[in-house]
Amino acid sequence: MPLAFESISHGTMAFGFFNIESDMLLLDRYFFFATDFCETICKMSNKQDVTLSKFSLPAYVIKNPADIGDLHGGIAGTHYSGFIGESYKKYPFPRDAKDFKQQTGGFKTRDDFVQMIRNFGAPIDLVLYQNSKKERVTVGPVVFSQQNFSQLIEYVIRGGYPGWLEGTAPDYVIKMQEEVSI
Protein backbone atom coordinates (compact mmCIF):
# COMPACT_ATOMS: atom_id res chain seq x y z
CA MET A 1 0.00 0.00 0.00
CA PRO A 2 1.27 3.45 -0.81
CA LEU A 3 1.63 5.70 2.21
CA ALA A 4 1.84 9.47 2.64
CA PHE A 5 5.31 11.03 2.74
CA GLU A 6 6.30 14.67 3.03
CA SER A 7 8.21 16.44 0.30
CA ILE A 8 9.65 19.94 0.25
CA SER A 9 8.32 20.78 -3.19
CA HIS A 10 4.91 19.08 -3.39
CA GLY A 11 3.73 18.65 0.20
CA THR A 12 2.31 15.25 1.08
CA MET A 13 2.91 12.65 -1.63
CA ALA A 14 1.80 9.05 -2.07
CA PHE A 15 4.70 6.63 -2.41
CA GLY A 16 4.85 2.88 -2.36
CA PHE A 17 3.96 -0.51 -3.66
CA PHE A 18 0.38 -0.67 -4.93
CA ASN A 19 -0.01 -4.36 -5.86
CA ILE A 20 1.64 -7.12 -3.84
CA GLU A 21 2.35 -9.15 -6.99
CA SER A 22 4.71 -6.51 -8.43
CA ASP A 23 7.82 -4.70 -7.30
CA MET A 24 6.55 -1.54 -9.01
CA LEU A 25 6.39 1.60 -6.90
CA LEU A 26 4.43 4.76 -7.41
CA LEU A 27 5.40 8.30 -6.52
CA ASP A 28 2.34 10.38 -7.28
CA ARG A 29 2.02 9.97 -11.07
CA TYR A 30 5.45 8.38 -11.59
CA PHE A 31 5.86 4.60 -11.62
CA PHE A 32 9.14 2.68 -11.42
CA PHE A 33 10.36 -0.71 -10.33
CA ALA A 34 11.88 -1.28 -6.91
CA THR A 35 14.70 -3.24 -8.54
CA ASP A 36 15.70 -0.12 -10.50
CA PHE A 37 15.11 2.17 -7.51
CA CYS A 38 17.35 0.06 -5.26
CA GLU A 39 20.06 -0.15 -7.91
CA THR A 40 19.98 3.63 -8.35
CA ILE A 41 20.17 4.20 -4.59
CA CYS A 42 23.20 1.89 -4.44
CA LYS A 43 24.89 3.91 -7.20
CA MET A 44 24.16 7.13 -5.33
CA SER A 45 25.52 5.81 -2.06
CA ASN A 46 28.65 4.34 -3.65
CA LYS A 47 29.62 7.26 -5.85
CA GLN A 48 33.34 7.85 -5.76
CA ASP A 49 33.32 10.97 -7.93
CA VAL A 50 31.90 13.82 -5.85
CA THR A 51 31.08 15.74 -9.03
CA LEU A 52 28.71 12.96 -10.13
CA SER A 53 25.46 13.72 -8.39
CA LYS A 54 22.72 12.95 -10.94
CA PHE A 55 21.45 9.46 -11.60
CA SER A 56 18.83 8.21 -14.02
CA LEU A 57 15.89 6.08 -12.88
CA PRO A 58 13.83 4.47 -15.66
CA ALA A 59 10.17 5.18 -14.98
CA TYR A 60 6.75 5.82 -16.49
CA VAL A 61 4.63 8.92 -16.09
CA ILE A 62 0.85 8.94 -16.24
CA LYS A 63 -0.18 12.50 -17.06
CA ASN A 64 -3.96 12.14 -16.77
CA PRO A 65 -4.90 11.47 -13.11
CA ALA A 66 -7.92 9.38 -14.20
CA ASP A 67 -5.54 7.03 -16.04
CA ILE A 68 -3.76 6.22 -12.77
CA GLY A 69 -6.88 4.45 -11.56
CA ASP A 70 -8.72 3.71 -8.36
CA LEU A 71 -6.60 1.84 -5.81
CA HIS A 72 -9.43 1.23 -3.34
CA GLY A 73 -11.84 0.11 -6.08
CA GLY A 74 -9.22 -2.24 -7.50
CA ILE A 75 -8.50 -3.74 -4.09
CA ALA A 76 -12.22 -4.19 -3.42
CA GLY A 77 -12.73 -5.68 -6.89
CA THR A 78 -15.49 -3.16 -7.61
CA HIS A 79 -13.86 -0.58 -9.87
CA TYR A 80 -11.08 -1.44 -12.31
CA SER A 81 -10.26 1.95 -13.79
CA GLY A 82 -6.91 3.08 -15.12
CA PHE A 83 -3.56 1.39 -14.75
CA ILE A 84 -4.04 0.36 -11.13
CA GLY A 85 -7.43 -1.13 -11.97
CA GLU A 86 -5.87 -3.14 -14.80
CA SER A 87 -3.24 -4.44 -12.40
CA TYR A 88 -5.95 -5.68 -10.03
CA LYS A 89 -7.89 -7.33 -12.85
CA LYS A 90 -4.80 -9.37 -13.68
CA TYR A 91 -3.48 -9.74 -10.11
CA PRO A 92 -6.46 -9.49 -7.71
CA PHE A 93 -6.19 -8.58 -4.06
CA PRO A 94 -5.96 -11.74 -1.94
CA ARG A 95 -9.25 -13.06 -0.57
CA ASP A 96 -7.74 -13.82 2.81
CA ALA A 97 -6.20 -10.84 4.65
CA LYS A 98 -3.41 -13.07 6.01
CA ASP A 99 -2.14 -13.42 2.42
CA PHE A 100 -1.73 -9.65 2.11
CA LYS A 101 2.09 -9.48 2.06
CA GLN A 102 4.45 -7.95 -0.49
CA GLN A 103 5.75 -10.78 -2.67
CA THR A 104 9.52 -11.12 -2.82
CA GLY A 105 9.20 -12.45 -6.39
CA GLY A 106 7.35 -9.33 -7.57
CA PHE A 107 10.12 -8.63 -10.06
CA LYS A 108 8.94 -11.69 -12.04
CA THR A 109 5.77 -9.86 -13.15
CA ARG A 110 7.70 -6.93 -14.59
CA ASP A 111 6.84 -7.68 -18.23
CA ASP A 112 3.11 -7.81 -17.40
CA PHE A 113 3.23 -4.48 -15.57
CA VAL A 114 5.24 -2.83 -18.35
CA GLN A 115 2.69 -4.02 -20.89
CA MET A 116 -0.19 -2.67 -18.76
CA ILE A 117 1.34 0.73 -17.97
CA ARG A 118 2.17 1.39 -21.62
CA ASN A 119 -1.60 1.67 -22.21
CA PHE A 120 -1.79 4.60 -19.78
CA GLY A 121 1.61 6.25 -19.48
CA ALA A 122 4.85 6.99 -21.22
CA PRO A 123 8.43 5.99 -20.42
CA ILE A 124 10.56 8.68 -18.84
CA ASP A 125 13.95 8.87 -17.15
CA LEU A 126 13.57 10.41 -13.72
CA VAL A 127 16.68 12.18 -12.54
CA LEU A 128 17.69 11.49 -8.95
CA TYR A 129 19.89 14.21 -7.59
CA GLN A 130 21.44 14.62 -4.17
CA ASN A 131 22.84 18.07 -3.44
CA SER A 132 26.48 18.34 -2.38
CA LYS A 133 25.61 18.88 1.27
CA LYS A 134 23.44 15.73 1.19
CA GLU A 135 20.54 17.62 2.73
CA ARG A 136 18.10 17.26 -0.19
CA VAL A 137 17.26 14.58 -2.73
CA THR A 138 15.33 15.30 -5.90
CA VAL A 139 13.35 12.60 -7.70
CA GLY A 140 12.22 14.06 -11.01
CA PRO A 141 10.36 17.22 -10.04
CA VAL A 142 9.89 16.20 -6.39
CA VAL A 143 12.31 17.50 -3.75
CA PHE A 144 12.70 15.68 -0.42
CA SER A 145 14.72 16.48 2.65
CA GLN A 146 17.36 13.81 3.22
CA GLN A 147 15.39 12.67 6.27
CA ASN A 148 12.14 12.27 4.32
CA PHE A 149 13.89 10.57 1.41
CA SER A 150 15.40 8.13 3.92
CA GLN A 151 11.83 7.27 4.93
CA LEU A 152 11.12 6.19 1.33
CA ILE A 153 14.15 3.90 1.44
CA GLU A 154 13.07 2.48 4.80
CA TYR A 155 9.60 1.83 3.38
CA VAL A 156 11.10 -0.28 0.57
CA ILE A 157 13.37 -2.12 3.03
CA ARG A 158 10.29 -3.04 5.12
CA GLY A 159 8.31 -4.14 2.07
CA GLY A 160 5.98 -1.22 2.54
CA TYR A 161 2.73 -1.87 4.22
CA PRO A 162 2.05 -4.81 4.83
CA GLY A 163 5.72 -5.90 4.74
CA TRP A 164 7.60 -8.62 2.90
CA LEU A 165 6.22 -12.14 2.72
CA GLU A 166 7.73 -14.14 5.60
CA GLY A 167 9.55 -10.98 6.71
CA THR A 168 12.37 -11.49 4.20
CA ALA A 169 13.24 -8.86 1.61
CA PRO A 170 14.49 -9.87 -1.85
CA ASP A 171 18.21 -9.79 -2.59
CA TYR A 172 18.16 -6.43 -4.40
CA VAL A 173 16.63 -4.77 -1.31
CA ILE A 174 19.07 -6.46 1.06
CA LYS A 175 21.95 -5.23 -1.11
CA MET A 176 20.62 -1.67 -0.96
CA GLN A 177 20.13 -1.90 2.80
CA GLU A 178 23.73 -3.04 3.24
CA GLU A 179 25.11 -0.24 1.08
CA VAL A 180 23.05 2.68 2.31
CA SER A 181 23.65 4.43 5.58
CA ILE A 182 20.37 5.88 6.80
Q: Average pLDDT across each block of 10 residues of the chain; the chain has 182 residues. List them in order.
A: 94 96 96 96 73 84 95 88 95 90 94 97 94 83 94 96 93 93 62
Q: What is the pLDDT of residue 48?
A: 53
Amino acid identity at 137 = V
Q: What is the pLDDT of residue 22?
A: 96
Q: Does residue 82 contact residue 70 with C-beta atoms inside 8 Å?
A: yes
Q: Does residue 19 contact residue 103 with C-beta atoms inside 8 Å?
A: no
Q: What is the pLDDT of residue 131?
A: 75
Rounded Cα gap, residues 144 and 138, in angstroms: 6
Q: Does residue 17 contact residue 34 with C-beta atoms inside 8 Å?
A: yes
Domain ranges, residue 134: 3-179
Domain count, the chain: 1
Q: What is the pLDDT of residue 76?
A: 84
Q: What is the pLDDT of residue 147?
A: 94
Q: What is the pLDDT of residue 180?
A: 84
| Cα separations in angstroms, 145 against 132, 142, 164, 173 | 13, 10, 26, 22
